[in-house]
């Protein structure tokens, strides 16, 4: 009996690995049409929920917003292999004494969570997030991870992806976003349903200026040069 159970569990694990790898490989080439978070938000809505989401290629996205989100969310994105252990150590140390919980999720981890999983802090979800992060870091390029991230993350209530965000917040296209507009959008990412890129509160204006400073210090963004895949 125990051997039969063990064999079944082993087969299920094999099928899980095969199916998830195939899923990740497909999304290496195919635009992500819908995410679990979109479905959850639609289900939670008390009235009709209008989703704004327009997929565009990375070369149609302003380099300003590419740089802005990296500077705001994960400045070691081009260097790490999915997990920023230095940031994790700092977050653990801060959370022992800080009043607010500080996260250390990389852009790769956020992409894995948004595209393949659901929000939450359970160990199961965290474990699956680590698994999918490992897969996309090894099966996708950094350019692809950033492209999917910029097309999938929440950038406002019902706003998903940078093209929809550019249109909603600044009545423009993602390819035309200026440095200041890009920094404004990046500044709301910690809580895009609460914060507004325009008009901004004094707090968000201060955060936008911080993002601009980080962008100026970071220098030019050259994904192709830094991509090791």
Of the candidates 199, 222, 200, 224, which has an alpha carbon nearest to the alpha carbon of residue 210? 200
What confidence tens digit (pLDDT) does each residue in 11-21 have?
999 999 999 99
User: How many residues are present in the chain?
Assistant: 229
Distance, in Å, from the CA atom of 195 to the CA atom of 129, rounded to the nearest integer, reads: 26
Q: Output the pTM of the full model.
A: 0.90
| Letter string b/e over residues 197-218, b meaning 16 or more CB atoms within 10 A of that residue's CB | beebeeebeebbeebbebbeee
State the pLDDT confidence band at 229, using cuts at 50, 70 and 90: very low
Average pLDDT over residues 36-43: 92
pLDDT of amino acid 66: 97
Q: Is the dihedral of CA 213, 217, 218, 219 positive or negative?
A: positive
Average pLDDT over residues 144-165: 97
State the pLDDT confidence band at 228, using cuts at 50, 70 and 90: very low
Distance, in Å, from the CA atom of 214 to the CA atom of 219, rounded to the nearest integer, reads: 9
Q: Is the dihedral of CA 155, 159, 160, 166 positive or negative?
A: negative
- 105 vs 210: which has the higher pLDDT: 210
Q: What are 228's two structure tokens?
A: 């090791």
Full set of structural domains in the chain with CATH: 58-222 (1.10.3810.10)
Alpha helices in the chain (DSSP H): 2-29, 36-44, 63-73, 85-97, 107-116, 123-139, 142-152, 162-170, 179-186, 202-218, 223-226
């Amino acid at each position: 009996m125990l051997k039969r159970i063990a064999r079944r569990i082993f087969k299920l694990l094999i099928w899980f690995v095969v199916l998830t790898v195939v899923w990740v490989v497909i999304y290496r080439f195919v635009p992500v049409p819908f995410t679990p978070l979109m479905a959850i938000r639609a289900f939670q809505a008390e009235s009709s929920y209008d989703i704004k989401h327009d997929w565009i290629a990375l070369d149609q996205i302003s380099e300003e917003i590419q740089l802005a989100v990296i500077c705001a969310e994960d400045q070691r994105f081009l260097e790490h292999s999915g997990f920023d252990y230095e940031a994790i150590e700092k977050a653990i140390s801060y959370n022992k004494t800080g009043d607010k919980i500080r996260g250390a999720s990389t852009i790769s981890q956020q992409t894995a969570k948004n595209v393949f999983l659901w929000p939450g802090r359970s160990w199961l979800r965290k474990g699956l997030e680590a698994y999918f992060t490992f897969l996309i870091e090894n099966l996708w390029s950094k350019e692809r991870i950033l492209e999917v991230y910029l097309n999938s993350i929440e950038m406002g209530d019902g706003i998903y992806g940078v093209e929809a965000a550019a249109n909603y917040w600044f009545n423009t296209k993602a390819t035309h976003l200026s440095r200041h507009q890009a920094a404004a959008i990046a500044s709301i990412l910690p809580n895009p349903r609460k914060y507004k890129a325009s008009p901004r509160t004094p707090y968000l204006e201060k955060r936008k200026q911080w993002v601009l400073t980080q962008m100026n210090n970071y220098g030019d963004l050259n994904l192709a040069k830094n991509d090791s895949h």
